[in-house]
Chains A and B, each alone.
Chain A
Amino acid sequence: MKVIISVIVILAFVATSSANLQCEHAKPNIPTEWIDMVKPCVKKMRAQIQTELEASIQYLAMGAHFSRDKINRPGFAKFFFQAASEERQHALKLISYLLMRGELTSNVSKLIKKTIVPPIVSWTSGVDALKDALRLEAKVTKDIRGVIEECEDPKEEEGNGYNDYHLVDHLTGEFLEEQYKGQRELAGKISNLEKMMDEHKALGEFMFDKKLLDEL
C-alpha cells in the first residue's frame, strides 16, 4: 500500500514538473569589465534616439502635407517620406551602437515614447517646408554635438573625464558627416527653388516638384 502511494506521489510530481513550462531563465554570468561607457554619455545617447525619431515623425508630417490633393506636390512628398525613413534609420543605428557596447540591458521599455505628435503639420509652400527641414537638421546637428561633448569629456561626476574615443569618432565620422552633407543639400535646394520662385512662383514650384520626383 505504502509503495503504491509513494509511486502515485512520484508520478504526480513528475507529471506536474513536466507540465511546468520553463519560460524564464536566469541571467548569464558574464564579465562586465568590457562595458566601459559612462552614465552621462549613455544618457545623452538614449535621448538622441528619441530626437531622431521626433525628426522622423516631423518629416512624416511633411510627406503627408505635400501628398494632399489640394497641395499636390508628389516630388516634395517623396523627398520628405524618404527623409522620415532615414531619420528612423538613424535612431536604429544609435540603438545598434549601444547594443554593441553592451548597453540597453535594462530600462529598454522607457527608451522611446510610444506616441509622437509632430509640432508643425502644414506649410505655405515647398520652400517653406525645406526651410523648416534645414532648421530641424541644424537643431539635430547641435544635439549630436552635445552628445559628442558629453561623451568626450563628461562633466557629471559619474563619468568624470572618461573620453569615449570610439563613440566620439563614430558620431563625428558618421553622424556629423551625414548632417553636414544633408544640410548643404537642403540649403542648395532652397537656394534654387527660391530663385526660381522669384519670378515664376507657381511654375517654379511645379517644375521643382517634378524634378524632385524624377531625381529621387
Chain B
Amino acid sequence: MKLLFVCCTILAAAFAATGDECYKDSVRVCKSVLKDNKKDKKDFSLPSCSAKYGAILEMLPELQQYVNSHITRNFEYMLMATHYGNYEKSREGFEKIFMDLSDSKWDTAIDLIKYITKRGGEMKFDNIKADTVNDENASYELYELNSLAKALDMEKELAERAHLIHGQATRRRENLHDPEVSSYIENKFVHHHAETIRKLSGYTSDLTSLLSGPDSSLALYIFDDYLKKQSIV
C-alpha cells in the first residue's frame, strides 16, 4: 500500500512537471482576481502558457541569426541586381535572377519570423552572425561569371546553415529533439536550396565554356537573354 502511494506521488509529480503548469498558472491568476481588490497590483501573466515546447528554446538563437542572414542576403542580391540594371552593364537576365533571389530571401525572412513566433519564440534583430557581414568593403559590382560564382557560394552557405539547424533539432545535441523544426527546415529550405544550387552551378558551367569561345561578348549577350526566361527560385 505504501509502495503504491509512493508510486502515485512520483507519477503525480512527473505529471505536474510536464503537464499542467499552464493550468496552475491559470488557477493562480483566477484566484488573485478574487482575493485582492487593489486594481493595479495584479500579476495576470501566465508564464507557462507560452507556445514553447520541444527543443525550440535551444534552437532560437540559430533561427534568429538565420533570419538576419536572409535579410542581409536580400540586400546583397539587391545590389548585384542594381549593378546589372545600369546602362553600362545592361544585362536584364542577370538583373532578373539576382532580383528574384533578393525577393526570395526577403520573403523567406518574413516566413522564418512567422515560424519563430509560431513556435513561441521571439525575433531578435540584433542577433547577427559574426561572419555574415565579413567585409564592409565587399564589392557587388562583379563580372558575369564571378557574380554567378558568388551567388552559388552564398546559396551553399545558407544551405549548410539549414543542415546545421536540422541537425541540432535531430538529437545532434543530447536531448534536443524537435521533429517539427526539422520537418519545417526540410520542406521550406532543403529542397529549394538543392534546386537553386544546381541551377547556379549549371550556369557557371555553361558560362565558363561560352566565355572560352571565340566571341565571349556575343556569348554573354545570348546567355543573358537566356537568363531572362529562367526562374532561379
Cα–Cα distance between A30 and B86 once the two chains are bound (Å): 13
Q: Known contacts A104-B82, A104-B85, A105-B86: does B211 contact A57 (CB below 8 Å)?
A: no
Cα–Cα distance between A146 and B85 once the two chains are bound (Å): 26
The residue among A27, A53, A81, A114 with the most chain B CB atoms within 10 A of its own CB is: A114
The answer to whether A25 and B217 have CB atoms under 8 Å apart is yes
Q: How many residues of A contact B (CB 8 A)?
A: 47
Q: Which of B122-130, B165-173, B180-188 contacts A (4 or more CB under 8 A)?
A: B122-130
Cα–Cα distance between A188 and B206 once the two chains are bound (Å): 56
Interface membership of chain B positions 79-117, coded 1 if the CB is closer than 8 angstroms to chain A and 0 otherwise? 100110111100000000000000000100110011011
Question: Does B158 sit within 8 A of A, measured CB to CB?
Answer: no
Contacts of A18 on B, CB cut-off 8 Å? 212
Contacts of A22 on B, CB cut-off 8 Å? 211-212, 216
Cα–Cα distance between A121 and B216 once the two chains are bound (Å): 50
Question: Does A96 sit within 8 A of B, measured CB to CB?
Answer: yes
Interface membership of chain B positions 117-157, coded 1 if the CB is closer than 8 angstroms to chain A and 0 otherwise? 11010110110100011001111110111100000000000
Q: Known contacts A88-B106, A96-B85: does B71 contact A67 (CB below 8 Å)?
A: no
Question: Does A85 sit within 8 A of B, measured CB to CB?
Answer: yes
The answer to whether A64 and B220 have CB atoms under 8 Å apart is no
The answer to whether B140 and A99 have CB atoms under 8 Å apart is no
Question: Does B201 sit within 8 A of A, measured CB to CB?
Answer: no
Question: Does A187 sit within 8 A of B, measured CB to CB?
Answer: no
Contact residues of A: prevailing secondary structure? loop
Contacts of B212 on A, CB cut-off 8 Å? 18-22
The residue among B76, B83, B126 with the most chain A CB atoms within 10 A of its own CB is: B83
The answer to whether A115 and B82 have CB atoms under 8 Å apart is no
Contacts of B79 on A, CB cut-off 8 Å? 108-109, 111-112
Q: Known contacts A109-B139, A111-B79, A112-B79: does B144 contact A23 (CB below 8 Å)?
A: yes
Cα–Cα distance between A109 and B132 once the two chains are bound (Å): 16
Question: Does A161 sit within 8 A of B, measured CB to CB?
Answer: no
* Minimum C-beta distance from A24 to chain B (A): 5
Cα–Cα distance between A165 and B217 once the two chains are bound (Å): 37
Cα–Cα distance between A77 and B110 once the two chains are bound (Å): 11
* Minimum C-beta distance from A23 to chain B (A): 5
The answer to whether A114 and B133 have CB atoms under 8 Å apart is yes
Contact residues of B: prevailing secondary structure? helix
Question: Does B196 sit within 8 A of A, measured CB to CB?
Answer: no
Interface membership of chain A positions 16-44, coded 1 if the CB is closer than 8 angstroms to chain B and 0 otherwise? 00111111110110100000000000000
Question: Does A157 sit within 8 A of B, measured CB to CB?
Answer: no
Q: Known contacts A69-B50, A70-B50, A121-B125: does B117 contact A105 (CB below 8 Å)?
A: no
The answer to whether A117 and B82 have CB atoms under 8 Å apart is no
The answer to whether A112 and B50 have CB atoms under 8 Å apart is no
* Minimum C-beta distance from A16 to chain B (A): 12
Contacts of B216 on A, CB cut-off 8 Å? 21-22, 25
Cα–Cα distance between A23 and B148 once the two chains are bound (Å): 12
* Minimum C-beta distance from B207 to chain A (A): 9
The answer to whether A84 and B110 have CB atoms under 8 Å apart is yes
Question: Does B51 sit within 8 A of A, measured CB to CB?
Answer: yes
* Minimum C-beta distance from A201 to chain B (A): 13
Question: Does B26 sit within 8 A of A, measured CB to CB?
Answer: no
The answer to whether A95 and B72 have CB atoms under 8 Å apart is no
The answer to whether A23 and B211 have CB atoms under 8 Å apart is yes
Q: For the A-B complex with A22-B211, A64-B117, A104-B85 known, give 11 more contacts whose Cβ atoms are closer than 8 Å.
A: A25-B217, A30-B88, A53-B75, A57-B125, A96-B85, A102-B86, A108-B140, A109-B137, A109-B140, A113-B75, A117-B126
The residues of B with any CB-CB pair to A shorter than 8 Å are 50-51, 68, 71-72, 75-76, 78-79, 82-83, 85-88, 106, 109-110, 113-114, 116-118, 120, 122-123, 125-126, 128, 132-133, 136-141, 143-146, 208, 211-212, 216-217, 220
A selection of 21 A-B contacts at a CB cut-off of 8 Å is A21-B211, A21-B212, A23-B146, A23-B211, A25-B217, A60-B125, A64-B117, A67-B117, A67-B118, A69-B120, A77-B114, A84-B110, A92-B78, A95-B78, A99-B82, A103-B86, A108-B86, A112-B78, A114-B75, A115-B133, A117-B126
